[in-house]
Copies of this chain bind each other. A is one copy, B any other.
């Protein structure tokens, strides 16, 4: 509708549509087959040629990051909001971790990729840490300051720990939310 409003991006409409299709396709394929799924599969799902994938996302990490960028941003924002709105720092932490877990759990395979030591995913890894670690740190610090959270756990331990708890296939006998809850309980400052 606003395509004509500006002047610059004309043909871009197509490209943007494709990029978008690619992101959707990749998201779907990632869920189904993991973040290491063949590039061809993604291209096929998006209805484009492989060349198009490479044009838009030169490396796999670029694609993965792009696929999850929105949600990572949302997750980061959620952390700030939780801090403002929750009744207590610990409650804020719990809420944020909830959002984080939702994210990881619905994006199956992502948690694994985040923990992967494959250099291919370094960029992804870096992006997550860059974006989320500061948030985690702030929440942790607030909790510690309020005497609600133990002071010997770092944000990286928190996030990688929670991330690890989210890895693996869905299973009736394993309730991610529950084990994360246990972990969070373990994060409470011990009564003096």
Contact = CB atoms under 8 A, between A and B. Distances in A.
Contacts of A168: 115-117, 160, 164
Interface in A156-192: 156-157, 160-161, 164-169, 171, 173-175, 178-179, 181-187, 191
B160 A175 contact: no
Interface residues of A, number: 32
A178 B152 CA distance: 9
A182 B186 contact: yes
A154 interface: yes
Q: Which 3 A-B pairs have the closest CB atoms?
A: A186-B186, A117-B169, A115-B168
Interface of A: 112, 115-117, 150, 152-154, 156-157, 160-161, 164-169, 171, 173-175, 178-179, 181-187, 191
